[in-house]
Amino acid sequence: MTRRLRLLPLLILALFCAVHAQSASPVIAVDHGPNAAAQQNKHYVVLVSLDGFRYDYAKKYGARHLLAIAAHGASAPEGMIPAYPSLTFPNHYTLVTGLYPEHHGIVGNQFYDPERKETYSYRDPKTNTDGSWYGGTPLWSLAEKQGMRSACFFWPGSEAEIAGERPSYYLHYDDRFPDEKRIDQVIAWLKLPSEQRPHFITLYYSNVDHAGHEYGPDTPQTAEAVRHVDALMGTLEADLKALALPVDLIVVSDHGMAKIQGSWIDLDKFAPLDGLITVGSSLYAPNEAAANAAYQKLKAADASFMVYRRENVPAELHFNTNAREGDPIIVARGPYAIRAHAAPADREDRAPTPGNHGFDPTMMPEMKAVFYAEGPDIRAGVKLKPFENVNVYPLIVKLLGLDSPPVDGSFGVLSGVLSDAASR
């Protein structure tokens, strides 16, 4: 069947998916044909991201629905370890590719590519929807390649054609889309006829991240955001159970949040950065001499950060082989706001946000994320030690019964969460 990309008007979407949301972005449907016969009887996975939900928030703020999932499913009480840098786009894309950022290429929310001579920004539709920036095979593309339909209710990368595929159903990102209606759409997708029903679905909420940035992690506003998304998870859990379908629910976050200390630290106060391209605190030297000169000036400049030549970045960060990472590379020693330059004189220079992330999770436990899972294929009461988030991908591949490409994660890390029947 010829593949067609079509934008469904909101009224048609309401009839097609039994959902109507005023002032909300319509679903985009890509005609991949029906689920292959071999895929139709397989189980379903709903992967939810609660952006910025720190590993200890559930207990700290009484997220009773997530704690209940942990009690009768699987969880990581001491957190899941995000990839470095612990930022939104790198880690969301790591979760769905099983690759470290330097291997899938999304090494920051914003970065420069010396080969392309272009800058990627998560805010720019020209780059965030351009599949040529993205490496690896995200779960939705993997499913589509193997005849299994997928759907993305927001997820970094899901608006781009990657590895030659798009999800069968997806939306352009719109943070104003009503929270409850997002769940309605997920349920509507799962009520489609089996031939059209997606087996892998993503769902995304940014509430906790926004609150953590604006107010800090230890505030009533963040507590309220935690309880709000927790209530949404209770609704989602109940609605999924009412379907009587074999659905495994996995709830994760991309990173945690830390309270920022002090004001801006400007790198150009310690070293002349003329001739270097800079993006945030990332430095891109035009040649070896310039890279080494900046390194020599910066390496003993300030106790708040460390500086490395790219090839010497500690191996545990998996951040030392991709030119998009920059050279030299700055790694904060704590929750400090670091940038290459202050804002231009003609622009307002705002103070750092009260909360932030992006830091080394091996140094700062506040960066750790959450992992909760429940469903017919999940063993009850499993408490996992902290593990790297690259290992979520092979677990979901196993749950969906797909064949996986080589990735950085290993199924063995999370194999213990599977029920006896699912392990066979």
List the catalytic residues: 88
Query: Which whole-number Å values give the CA distances from 338 to 89, 290, 330, 332, in the listed order?
Result: 19, 20, 9, 8
Q: How far is CA 233 from CA 77, 144, 340, in A?
A: 18, 27, 40
User: Taking Cα atoms as reference points, which of 70, 51, 48, 50 lies closest to residue 59?
Assistant: 70
The Cα 76–Cα 81 span in angstroms is: 10
Residues 403 and 409: their CA atoms lie apart, in Å, by 14
Pair of tokens at residue 401 = 């019964």
For the record, the structure tokens of 193 come out as 């006829």
Neighbouring residues of 39: CB distance < 8 A, sequence distance ≥ 6: 146, 147, 148, 149, 199, 401
Angle at which helix 64-72 crosses helix 220-243, to 10 degrees, equals 50
CA distance linking residue 98 with residue 394, whole number of Å:
7
Give the CA radius of gyration of the chain: 22
373 pairs with which residues across the strands? 74, 250
Cis amide leading into 85 (omega within 30): yes
C-alpha dihedral sign at 162, 168, 174, 176: negative
DSSP class of 136: S
* Matching residue, tokens 């339909």: 149
Distance of CA 90 to the CA centre of its chain: 7
- Amino acid identity, position 238: A
Residue 209: its H or E element: helix 207-215
Phi and psi of 384, rounded to 5°? -95, 145
Residues linked to residue 332 through DSSP beta bridges, in sequence order: 305
Of the candidates 342, 394, 386, the one whose C-alpha atom is nearest the C-alpha of residue 368 is 386
- For residue 114, CA distances in Å to 184, 270, 313, 358 come to 43, 24, 19, 22
